[in-house]
Amino acid sequence: MANQKNLPAKKTAGFGVAWEGLYGYVQAVQVKDTIYLSGQLSHDTEGNLVAPAVLNESGSPVDFSTMEDQMRQTYSNIVDLLAEFGATLDHVVEETLFVIDVPAAFAAAGKVRKEFYGAEVPQVASNLIGVSSLAFPQQLIEITIRAVIE
């Protein structure tokens, strides 16, 4: 076991949703001046997915029309988590969007990101990565964040 005296102090936050305990992780952790957010998704305070995608018989999304609504709820959750550390989206330096459909995410991101960051060109490094699946089949997007506070 590592020497506990040499570990940095960590402050953590979460939503208390079931998958935090099932998977075994925290939603956010602050070490020194940096806040790291685990992959965030579009859930409400009860852990229900907001705007879940409709699935076909094989369990894959049949359309991506709920991408914008999922993205909006995901950013809302990000704002709530950052507030636990006294931070806002102004403190975000990097974000990574993992998406099931890149064209749908690209179309939604331009509008939603500008809305949440309050700028035509948000001052944040951003990555948009297409993936084949996420934690829940109805999920179209997951966003990780790194923020720096003083």
Summarised one tens digit per residue, pLDDT across range 67-94 is: 999 999 999 999 999 999 999 999 999 9
pLDDT at 3: 58
Give residue 128's pLDDT band: very low, low, confident or very high (50, 70, 90): very high
Confidence of residue 96 (pLDDT cuts 50, 70, 90): very high
Inter-CA distances, 117 with 21, 78, 111, Å: 31, 12, 10
Specify the pairing of strand 92-99 against strand 141-148.
antiparallel
Contact 81, 10 (CB under 8 A): no
Instruction: Determine the pLDDT at residue 8.
Output: 85
Question: Whole-angstrom Cα distance, residue 78 to residue 69?
Answer: 14
Rounded percentage of the chain residues whose pLDDT exceeds 90: 85
Cα dihedral 111/98/61/78 (nearest 10): -60
pLDDT bucket at 2, cuts 50 / 70 / 90: low
Q: Name the CATH superfamily housing domain 9-148.
A: RutC-like (3.30.1330.40)
- The candidate with the shortest Cα–Cα distance to 37, out of 122, 119, 124, is 124
Res. 138: pLDDT tops 90: yes
Q: Is the pTM of this model over 0.85?
A: yes
pLDDT in tens, 13-33: 999 888 888 888 999 999 999
